A and B are shown apart, each in its own frame.
Chain A
Amino acid sequence: MRTRHGTDPTLLVLSSLAGGPKHGYALTKDVEAFAGVTLGPGTLYGCLSRLETRGLVEALEADDRRRPYRLTAAGTAELRDRLHEARTVAQVGLARLSGGAP
């Protein structure tokens, strides 16, 4: 599996949680599956702690020391905004590559 470097882990974690609550290991496997990016525990929990501090994700009741996280309403809005921005950039870039609109 190809690992892409430079992808924002915040966006990856938010995108993964958009599919439903997940604990650390499930998040790692999901991100690996849909983005081909391997998140280490240091990166993953650094990202989760930042998102939790900003109120974008929240922790649920722990199940056998595995605590799932889910998106909050603010997290959903943040993810939507960032994906729209990314789509705009992608559309412009792809259009220019194909010699279309400026």
Chain B
Amino acid sequence: MSRRRDPAPSRLVALARASYPSWWKARYGDEVGVLCTDLLAEGRRPSRLAGGLFAGALDARLRGTGLPPVASVHRGRARAALVAATLPVLVTFPLVVWIAFSTDQRSAWTSGAGYWLPAAHGVRQFVRTGGPPSLSAGGYLATYSQLALMLLLMFTFLVLFALWSEVRARLVGGGLAWAALWWAPVLFAAAAVVLSTTGNYVRPQLAAGRRGTLVDGRIVTVSTYAPGGHPLLAGALGVGAWVAVALLLASTVAVAVAVARRELPPETLQVGVGIGRLLSVATALTALAVTGWAVGLALEPRPDLHLSYSTVTSPLAPWSGVLAGVLLLVAAGTVTGARQARRCWRTAGWLAFAER
């Protein structure tokens, strides 16, 4: 039996032991350390020990196995689970925005095939000969999924911003850092609205009265911009608005992290648990909508820019399957976090009652 003296594998085992939650290490850390030393001394493979420990750490983190029956520990775990349910949503939020806003219906039909019919008083009227551009079943699925994504984005944003405000309000302590933490999401949200509105105001506007020209039996509409406007400034303001949205999300992450580190009143923690549940439902539905979008795009086999139908396209189409998989994983994580938060919050309530 060979005994390995290489320090690297021991570091691997130490890393695996360190990956357990703090309450677990406080209770079992010493004993596991002694056992690992004994097993390594008799020639057990460090990689195998580390693999088992990593799996155990994951189990302890996900299911809270061995959590001591102390109210404060359960409350702490409820807060941590709440953050675990929220952070993935914040990270994937921009991705879902990108999916929803990059998906588009395209058609060369524009205003349809037809002919000009001379009417009274020298006025000509364009008569369409075809029906409206149709979508395939896949196109409908992708389009309705996109619509669902838009609605879910609004709902998620509302939950993140409005309901987190309740939790945020209870976090306020003394000092500039806490004041910044409280005001940052509000200021960034206001900045996003102001920059976006101003950008729309200063950008060049479309000229009134779009003109149609008959080309090869179908009408082609030409849009022109009226003189004036500040395209460069409008572009800068648009970018600024998106930066403000990104900072809004980042400041919400900061609030979530602060929640994990600070004791909250029971009623505020209850609100947090409710937020976790709402987010888990919204994320699960978002993952299903992204899956529908991915399936819809995969079922859309027709070539783009055809006269008699519309196609649904997205520059993210080649990665739609991967994106759907990522969103499903995020949803699973969020649902697990929300369930754990609820369970720990309820147990903490019972334990606090028993401790009194």
> A residues engaging B (CB < 8 A)?
23-25, 28, 40-46, 48-50, 52-53, 62, 65-67
Contact = CB atoms under 8 A, between A and B. Distances in A.
Contacts of B232: none
B294 to A, nearest CB: 36
B166 interface: no
Interface of B: 16, 24, 27-28, 30-36, 38-39, 48-49, 51-57, 59-60, 65-67
A43 B66 contact: no
A28 B27 CA distance: 19
Contacts of A67: 30-31
Nearest to A40: B52
A50 B66 contact: yes
A52 B69 CA distance: 11
A49 B59 CA distance: 11
Contacts of A40: 48-49, 51-53
Given A46-B65, A50-B65, A24 B32 contact: yes
A34 B150 CA distance: 60
Contacts of A62: 30-31
Contacts of B51: 40, 42
A42 B48 CA distance: 10
- Chain A facing B: main interface SS: helix
26 contacts: A24-B32, A24-B35, A25-B34, A41-B52, A42-B49, A42-B51, A43-B55, A45-B31, A45-B56, A45-B66, A46-B59, A46-B60, A46-B65, A48-B28, A48-B66, A49-B27, A49-B60, A49-B66, A52-B66, A53-B67, A62-B30, A65-B31, A65-B33, A65-B34, A66-B34, A67-B30
A67 B32 CA distance: 10
Given A24-B31, A49-B65, A50-B65, A42 B38 contact: no
B35 A28 contact: yes
B52 A53 contact: no
Given A23-B31, A46-B56, A65-B31, A28 B39 contact: yes
Nearest to B27: A49
A71 to B, nearest CB: 18
B65 A53 contact: yes
A25 B60 contact: no
Contacts of B16: 42
A52 B56 CA distance: 16
Given A49-B24, A49-B65, A53-B65, A43 B31 contact: no
